[in-house]
Amino acid sequence: MPSAEPTNALWLRAGDSKPGPRPALTLDDIAAACVRLADAEGMRSLSMRRVAEELGTGAASLYRYVSGKDDLVSLMYDRVAAEYEFGPPTGDLRADVLAVAEQARAMHRRHRWLTEVTPGSLGPNGLRYLDHMVAILAPAGLRPAETMTGIAMLSGWVTVFAGQEAAGRPVPATGGGAEHISAMLSLGNYPNLTALFTEPDAPGESGVDNDAVFRAGIDALLFGIAGPR
């Protein structure tokens, strides 16, 4: 998750008055241009020069709005976070968390660069996401620090899983390379792994249901965060 700490975040600086002509662009204009570039060409395409070209202006003029590429990353991350559609929490912790997690998973499919960026600070839409997650975890009765840790854990699982999925890599039911592990067992003495892989329902990679694996990960995290329900 991006940091919520910096007090000089872009959105706080945006209200500062600057000398010169009235700004011709908005932060949302810049964010939209960044997202278009990254969606079409990947994060390697993101530079002050390329964004300025997309907006029909000069790179130097962008510094009136942002201080550099780090600000661009924060803007585009927040722009994508606006795609969440949040309904009122139902009180069903698992259902509410899954509803958000599945949206995040789909978001990674649309914007594959998401796994490559770490925004420096939360913007308005990031805070909206965080606010909603606090609301849906409320039934667990967690302390504030536990709530924030839980949100970070859930967000991290979605990012890692969706990143593998978006890159076209299979997500094994065991969490990593079951066929490879099975093939390697003959090279050494691994009694516990050998016993596991010779059980009748030993892990395998054929027919893996990514949806089921994704939900199982959420369930495991919720058990650790909120306990059995």
Domain ranges of the chain: 10-170+211-226, 178-207
For the chain, the maximum distance between any two Cα atoms, rounded to a whole number of angstroms, is: 74
**Could you read off the pLDDT of 120-135 as tens digits, one per residue?**
888 999 999 999 999 9
**Could you say which residues of the chain have pLDDT below 70?**
1-8, 14-23, 167-177, 200-208, 228-229
Q: The domain 10-170+211-226 belongs to what CATH superfamily?
A: Tetracycline Repressor, domain 2 (1.10.357.10)
Neighbouring residues of 166: CB distance < 8 A, sequence distance ≥ 6 = 108, 109, 112, 115
**Could you read off the pLDDT of 48-64 as tens digits, one per residue?**
999 999 999 998 989 98
**Which amino acid, 121?**
S
